[in-house]
A and B are shown apart, each in its own frame.
Chain A
């Protein structure tokens, strides 16, 4: 249904301008995590344009984006690279292409489950869920910090929720059905 990977990316809000990239590297040079990336932001654009879908979507690099929007703010060609990172992550998630980064996506999906369940997020339950999904030993790591938060009165003991939780569930489900990845 898409001509190629570029076409696919361009069909999402924020992805439409990637053909205008002049490969200047301002994005990479501005990115706080590019030093740890195998494929830098600029290079990811090249890879998309070279139709290397699997290489891109399997890459851990797309999960290293901190959503700081510096690349977007500085790109001389108006490319919204942060949005492109989001698009890439959603595609990788949809096609379940992440191999090495199960831990990361486990955290994301724990968060997402929590919103679906309660409508609001709370850190204590999120950490609990995440640890159980990945490795319960993690709880030990989070333990000391968690205790401090409790002592300072900064941890919700009773999980928050909202009245019309059904509605939130419904719109999330409908969004998913619409193929709204």
Chain B
């Protein structure tokens, strides 16, 4: 299957590890990802806070570029996924948005020739490959590895593909890979990613409650689907721990990294060494 890949800004920088593991995993699954040519930043949560129309036009340009080619748009980042889905929703629902975007596009030499389907990488893997097939492909089950699955916000809200309060997709995938999935009430509680630079006090509390519950239930690691969540929970963990007097570190891994391991890929191809909190000790369990 051919897909169009919209990596989003992080995967080319702070989330290189995610990108590396995505590339490894999709190859094993015989999925072909072609990067949307010349894509731009989706605006995340910033642009919509400053200018409504700019926040529509940015993701819309990406859709216009993607519409030139065939294949669904696959997005590994929760925030980009939501931005792209939201502009689709707004264009379908609001005539003004449709008209303004078309008019501006006309002046800038852009045209939206179709509406490609926007899907999160997790969604694509579960729906197009399927759990059964993945189970058969597992070479090295993640046996004894205790994980909590953190879907975050924008994968499931407001236009996501899974239950917004108690998503199942990631749980099902991790169980299929052989990991032990622990109950986790923080699955979709916000980590405060968009506030971490400007209002760290607020965000640190949010990070801490996620990490605290993962420790309390005895998780070896927190599994994530989004580069923003990863950065927030991983890179800021030391600061958060200092503030709340916690000693235990919890590695934050991408679902694709664990999937890569289970499918028998080499550790070093999966960017695992790039975690600020190293996952290697926890991963010793699976050898």
Please give the residue numbers on chain A whose beta carbons come within 8 Å of chain B beta carbons, in ascending order.
12-13, 32-33, 36, 63-64, 66-70, 72-73, 80, 82, 86-87, 89-90, 93, 103-104, 107-109, 111-112, 115, 119-124, 127, 130, 145, 148-149, 152-156, 160, 162-164, 167-168, 170-172, 174-176, 178, 180-181
Interface extent on B, as a size class?
A: 35 or more
- Asked if B157 is at the interface of the complex by the 8 Å CB criterion, the answer is yes
Q: A36 → chain B, closest Cβ, in Å? A: 6
Given contacts A148-B235, A162-B39, contact A178 B50 (CB under 8 A): no
Partner of A68, one of B104, B110, B153: B153
- Complex contacts, A119 vs chain B, CB 8 Å: 40-41
A selection of 8 A-B contacts at a CB cut-off of 8 Å is: A67-B194, A69-B153, A72-B158, A104-B199, A122-B12, A145-B239, A168-B40, A178-B53
- Asked if B54 is at the interface of the complex by the 8 Å CB criterion, the answer is yes
Dominant secondary structure of chain A at its interface with chain B: helix
**9 new A-B pairs (CB below 8 Å) besides A33-B202, A69-B157, A121-B44?**
A12-B52, A13-B52, A32-B192, A66-B153, A70-B188, A112-B54, A152-B274, A152-B275, A170-B107
- Asked if B135 is at the interface of the complex by the 8 Å CB criterion, the answer is no
In the bound complex, how far is the Cα of B203 from the Cα of A36, in angstroms? Answer: 11
In the bound complex, how far is the Cα of B106 from the Cα of A170, in angstroms? Answer: 11
- Asked if B72 is at the interface of the complex by the 8 Å CB criterion, the answer is no
Nearest to B48 among chain A residues (CB) is A86
Query: What are the 6 tightest A-B residue pairs by CB atom distance, in nearest-first order?
Result: A180-B53, A68-B190, A69-B157, A156-B13, A175-B53, A89-B49
Q: B89 → chain A, closest Cβ, in Å? A: 9
Q: A112 → chain B, closest Cβ, in Å? A: 6
- Asked if B96 is at the interface of the complex by the 8 Å CB criterion, the answer is yes
Given contacts A36-B202, A70-B153, A171-B57, contact A120 B12 (CB under 8 A): yes
Partner of A174, one of B16, B47, B107, B192: B107
In the bound complex, how far is the Cα of B276 from the Cα of A181, in angstroms? Answer: 38
Q: A169 → chain B, closest Cβ, in Å? A: 9
- Asked if B38 is at the interface of the complex by the 8 Å CB criterion, the answer is yes
B49 lies within 8 A of A93 (CB): yes
Given contacts A13-B94, A68-B153, contact A172 B206 (CB under 8 A): no
- Complex contacts, B16 vs chain A, CB 8 Å: 153-154
A67 lies within 8 A of B153 (CB): yes
Given contacts A70-B190, A120-B40, A175-B104, contact A180 B51 (CB under 8 A): yes
A80 lies within 8 A of B158 (CB): yes
In the bound complex, how far is the Cα of B108 from the Cα of A11, in angstroms? Answer: 26
A66 lies within 8 A of B46 (CB): no
In the bound complex, how far is the Cα of B95 from the Cα of A13, in angstroms? Answer: 10
- Complex contacts, B235 vs chain A, CB 8 Å: 145, 148-149
- Asked if B260 is at the interface of the complex by the 8 Å CB criterion, the answer is no
Q: A56 → chain B, closest Cβ, in Å? A: 15
Partner of B199, one of A64, A145, A148: A64
Q: B132 → chain A, closest Cβ, in Å? A: 31
A115 lies within 8 A of B110 (CB): no
- Complex contacts, B158 vs chain A, CB 8 Å: 69, 72-73, 80, 82
- Complex contacts, B273 vs chain A, CB 8 Å: 152
- Complex contacts, A148 vs chain B, CB 8 Å: 235, 276
B52 lies within 8 A of A123 (CB): no
In the bound complex, how far is the Cα of B235 from the Cα of A131, in angstroms? Answer: 19
- CB within 8 Å of A: which of B9-64? 9-10, 12-17, 38-41, 43-58, 61
